[in-house]
Structure 1
Amino acid sequence: MQNSNITMPQLNDINTTFRRYVGIFLNYWWVFLILPAILGIGTYFYSSSQDTMYEATSTLLVEQRRTGGVAGVSDFTLSEDLARMYMKQILSTPFISRVVEEPDVKYNVDELKLMLTADAHINPPTLDVIIRNSDKTEAADVANKIAATFINYTVELRLAEIAKIQTAALSQGLPNVQELVASNFTTLDSLSLLEPAAPPKSPAFPRTKRNTAIGVMLGFLLATFLSVLLSSITSTIKDVENIYNQFGVPTLGNIFRWGSQNDQNEVLTHTDPSSPYSEAFRHIRANFQFATANKQPPLFLITSPGPGEGKSTIISNLGASLAQNGKKVIILDADLRKPTIHRRFNLKKREPGLSTFLSDKDLTPSEIIMNPGIPNLDIIPSGPVPPNPSELLGTERMKNLCNDLHSKLNYDYVLLDSPPILVVADGSVLASIATAGILIVDGFSTKIGSLQSAVNTLNGTAIETLGIIVNKLKNSRFSYGYRYPYYYNYYYYQSYYQYNEAGEKTEKQEKRSTKSTIKKLFRWSK
C-alpha cells in the first residue's frame, strides 16, 4: 500500500501557497468588492431593461409502427429518428407558411420564425413546440395552434404520398393495388398531442436573478485574475516567508513601518528600549549573533539595493542593541557620499572622520573614534565628503583600519554602513573588505528584481550574504507575508510597559494612550 502521508516540507509549501493567495485576496479586497458589484449591478439593470418574454410549450408524442402489432425496439428507433426529422420540418419555411395561412393567425412568416423553436427528445420520442411571446396567453395559444396544424400537416403529407403511390401503381398496371394502399395506411405515422401548452406563470426572459448571479461570479473571476496580475506587476517584497526559497538568503528579521519620521531617525533601542521596535531589534540581534558566530574577523557590511531603504536606521539600532547585550561595537559611516550616522546619534560634528583618516596618514584610529553616550558603542563618522570615495575606501589603509579595530582595539563587532550596492561602486569595494554582508530592503517599495540584483552583486564579491532584514513592513492584519514569531509581542510588550513597578500607568503612556491608539488603528487600516 502506497504511503500517502504528506511531509512537513510539503505542508509548509501548501501553507505558504495558501497564505499567498489569501494574502492577495486580503490585499486587494477592494477589487473583489468593486468588480462583482459593478458586473452584478450592470447585469441586473441590463436584464431589467429587456422586454419580458413568456415561453409556452406544447408537447407532441411521436410513434411509428411498421405493422399493426405491438411496438418493438425497431419501432422505437424509427420513432426517435422521426422525432428529429419533425424538429427540422416544423421549423421549415413551407410549414410556417402553412401556419400563416390559417385564418386566426396574425403573424407573418418572419415573425413566427423569431417566436418558434423546437426540441426533440428520444426517451420517449417527443417533440416540443416552444413559443416565446410577450403575452403569456398568446404564447400558449400560438403553441397549441402550431402543434395542431403540424399534426394535420404531417397527415396531409403522408396521404399525398400514398395517393402518388396508388396513381403510380395503377399506371403501371400492378395487381392488388388496394392491398398496397391498405398496407401504407397501416404504417401512417402516429403523431398526437401529448400535453397542450398552458399560459406560463412566470416569464422565461429576462432571467434577472440568474443573470445577476452570473455577473457576480464573472466579477469574482475577473477580480481574481486582476488581483494576481496586480500582485505580479507590483513585484515588491510582499511575502517575507518566501524570501529564502526565492533568493536563497534567510531573513534575519522584520521591522514594521515606522510610526513617524522622528521614530525612524532616532536610535529607539537606546532612547525607548521598551518600545515594540526595540523588541524587534532584539529579535534581529539574536538572529544576527547566531548567523555571525565564528565569523572572523567580525567585520560586517550593512547595505541595501537602493537609497532610502533604511540601512542607516537599521545599523544604528542594531549596533545599540548589540551594545546593550554587553558587546563592544563600533559603527563606521562608510557612506562617504551621503553620510547620516552622525545625525542618528546627535553628534555635533562628523570631522575628523573616516575620509580624514584615509587621507591623512598621520591620524590614528583613536583620533576619529567618537562615543555617542551609549556604553559599549563607538562611532567613526564619515568626515568631509571627498571627491574620490571609491578610491579611498579601496586603499590598504582602509583594510588595515578595519582589521585593527578588532585585533588591536578589541571590538566584538565592526559594522560598516555602506552606500547602496546597486547605485555606486563603493558598496562592492567595501564588500571586498568585509567578512560577510547583510541586505536591508524596504518591504513597501523594494522591487524583487532589485533585491535579486543586490544578492547577485554581493555573491559576485565572494563574501557571504548572511541574511536580509526587511524594513518598513505594513503592520496591517490584511498583509500576508508580514507575520513572524514576535508579531503579537509588539502589542503584548506595548501593553506591559504602560505600567511601572507600582502598577501605575506611566505619564508618557497616559498622555499618549488614546491618541496613539487612534493613530495606530488608522495606520492598520491602510
Structure 2
Amino acid sequence: MALDAYINQLKLRERNLTATIDRSSKDLRGIPSRTIEEQRLKRQVEMSAALYQSLSLKTAEAKLADAATVPDVRILDPAVVPSKQTRNTKPVIILGATGAALGFALFLAIVLDQLDKRYRYPEQVTDDLGLFVLGVVPLIDSKGRKRSSGQAAQVIEAFRTIRMNVRYAADPNRPFTITITSPGPADGKSLISSNLALSFAESGARTLLIDGDIRRGELAKTFKIPAKPGLVEYLDGTALIAEVLHPTDAHSNLTLLPGGARRRRAPELLATPRLNQLINQMGAEYDVVIVDSPPLGAGFDAYALATATGNMALVMRAGVTDRKMAAAKMAVVDSLPVRVMGALLNSIAMTGAYQYYSNYQDYVATDEEPIGRISDGSGRDTNAAFPGARS
C-alpha cells in the first residue's frame, strides 16, 4: 500500500513537471516573433523621427527664405468703408418681377378668354354675332328673398327699355308678334318672355303670351293657371281657341295660352298651317303677341315658331350661353324668313363693361307712398309683377 501511494505521488509530480515544461517551451518559442516585432517597431520609430527632422529643416529653410525676400507689393491707398452703395439693384429687381408677373397674368387672361366658349361681354354680341342689344336685364335674386325697391326698379326700367326697343324695331305695318328664344337651356328666355309680356300689359297693350315650349314649358305653373288645354290641343284640333286662352291674375291686359299636354309627337304640330293661322288671328285680336319658345338647340321648334311670328329676339345669359352654339344656330336662322330684332342680355351684374346699362336708382319714379312699395296706380305692388324671378 505504501508503495502504491508512493508511485501515485511520483505520477502526480510527473504531470506537474510536464505542464511546467510545456508552458516554458511555449514562452521560448514566442521569443523570436516578439523580437522581430520589436525590431520592426524600432525601425519605424527611427524612420518617423528622420522624416520629422527633415520636415523641420525644410520649414526652417522656408521661413528663412521668406524673411530674407524683399516684397515687390506696397499699399497705395488704405481701404475705407464705403458711405453708400454704388448701385442699388433692389428697385430694378422688384419692378422687373412685378412687370413679369403682370405680363404673365395678362397673357394668361387673354389665353383663358380666347378659350372660354361662354358669352361674357357685350362686344361678343354686337361684333361677333352682329346683333343689336335690345336691352340688359340685371341679375335678379334667385334665393327667394324679398327684392329691394332699388332692385325692383332696375328690373322694371330694364323691361321698359326692352319694350320700347322691340316695339320700334318691329314693322309698324304688321301685327306685333315676336318669338323669344335662346341658343341653349337655362338662358332665362321664359323669364324674359313673361316679364316682357307683363311690361306691355302695364303699358296698356292687350297682350297675349303663348307658351310655345311644348317640351318643358312652365308658364302655366308660373301664372297659376291650368296647363291643359293649351297650344297642343288647339293645333291637333281637340280644343277651340276660346278654351285655350286664360286671363291671368298678374294683369287684366295679359292673357296666357299654355303649352298643353306634353306628347312625344307634339313638335310635329308646329309644322302645320294651324300655327300660322293662330298667330295671324291672335295678331289681329291683340296688340302684342309674345311666344316663349324652346331653345334653338332643342330642335326645330324655335325655328317654326319664329317663322310663324316673323320676328325673333335672342336671349343670352352672361357666363352661361355658348357663343359658338349661338353663332351656329343664328347661321340657320339667317336662311329663314325671320327678322332678328336683336339680343336680350340676361343675368347681368351692372359692373365693368355693363355699368353704363344701369339706371340711377335715386331717380326712380314713385307714387307718394311708403318707401319700399312701388305702385302702378291700381293699388297693386309692382314688385310682385315679375313672376318666376330666375335669371
Contact 1:239 1:482 in 2 (8 A): no
Residue 392 in 1 paired to residue 259 in 2? no
Residue 377 of structure 1 and its aligned partner are, at CA, apart by: 1.2
Could you tell me which residue of structure 2 aligns to residue 371 of structure 1? 247
CA RMSD, Structure 1 to Structure 2 (Å): 3.3
Residue 443 in 1 paired to residue 318 in 2? yes
Could you tell me which residue of structure 1 aligns to residue 4 of structure 2? none
Residue 501 in 1 paired to residue 379 in 2? no
Residue 320 of structure 1 and its aligned partner are, at CA, apart by: 0.9
Could you tell me which residue of structure 2 aligns to residue 245 of structure 1? 127
Write the distance in 1 (CA, Å) between the matches of 2:339 and 2:218.
26
Write the distance in 2 (CA, Å) between the matches of 1:284 and 1:299.
15
Write the distance in 1 (CA, Å) between the matches of 2:130 and 2:102.
35
Residues 103, 452 of structure 1: alpha-carbon distance in 2 compared, 3 angstrom cutoff? farther
Could you tell me which residue of structure 1 aligns to residue 165 of structure 2? 287
Contact 1:437 1:458 in 2 (8 A): no
Write the distance in 1 (CA, Å) between the matches of 2:238 and 2:151.
40
Contact 1:372 1:378 in 2 (8 A): yes
Residue 343 of structure 1 and its aligned partner are, at CA, apart by: 1.9
Could you tell me which residue of structure 2 aligns to residue 216 of structure 1? 98
Contact 2:267 2:301 in 1 (8 A): yes
Residue 336 of structure 1 and its aligned partner are, at CA, apart by: 0.7
Deviation string for 1:307-347 (max 9, x for gaps)? 01110010001011111112111111110110111122122
Write the distance in 1 (CA, Å) between the matches of 2:81 and 2:372.
80
Write the distance in 1 (CA, Å) between the matches of 2:238 and 2:368.
53
Residue 341 in 1 paired to residue 219 in 2? yes
Write the distance in 2 (CA, Å) between the matches of 1:199 and 1:418.
84
Contact 2:245 2:257 in 1 (8 A): yes
Residue 444 of structure 1 and its aligned partner are, at CA, apart by: 2.5
Could you tell me which residue of structure 1 aligns to residue 13 of structure 2? none
Residue 454 in 1 paired to residue 329 in 2? yes
Residues 263, 323 of structure 1: alpha-carbon distance in 2 compared, 3 angstrom cutoff? farther
Could you tell me which residue of structure 1 aligns to residue 342 of structure 2? 467
**What TM-score, normalized to structure 2?**
0.69
Deviation string for 1:25-47 (max 9, x for gaps)? xxxxxxxxxxxxxxxxxxxxxxx
Write the distance in 2 (CA, Å) between the matches of 1:379 and 1:483.
34
Contact 2:178 2:310 in 1 (8 A): yes
List runs of 5+ in structure 2 lacking aligned partners.
1-69, 375-391
Partner-residue secondary structure (3-state), 1:480: helix
Write the distance in 1 (CA, Å) between the matches of 2:181 and 2:292.
7
Could you tell me which residue of structure 2 aligns to residue 207 of structure 1? 89
Residues 461, 506 of structure 1: alpha-carbon distance in 2 compared, 3 angstrom cutoff? closer
Which residue identity does 1:314 align to in structure 2?
I
Residues 488, 481 of structure 1: alpha-carbon distance in 2 compared, 3 angstrom cutoff? closer
Residues 214, 103 of structure 1: alpha-carbon distance in 2 compared, 3 angstrom cutoff? farther
Residue 222 of structure 1 and its aligned partner are, at CA, apart by: 1.6
Which residue identity does 2:316 align to in structure 1?
V
Higher RCO structure (Cα 8 Å, ≥6 apart) = 2
Partner-residue secondary structure (3-state), 2:172: coil
Residues 460, 454 of structure 1: alpha-carbon distance in 2 compared, 3 angstrom cutoff? same
**What TM-score, normalized to structure 1?**
0.52
Contact 2:212 2:231 in 1 (8 A): yes
Which residue identity does 1:240 align to in structure 2?
P
List runs of 5+ in structure 1 lacking aligned partners.
1-101, 106-140, 146-195, 509-526
Contact 2:150 2:361 in 1 (8 A): no
Deviation string for 1:37-85 (max 9, x for gaps)? xxxxxxxxxxxxxxxxxxxxxxxxxxxxxxxxxxxxxxxxxxxxxxxxx
Residue 489 in 1 paired to residue 367 in 2? no
- Percent of counterpart pairs with the same letter? 25
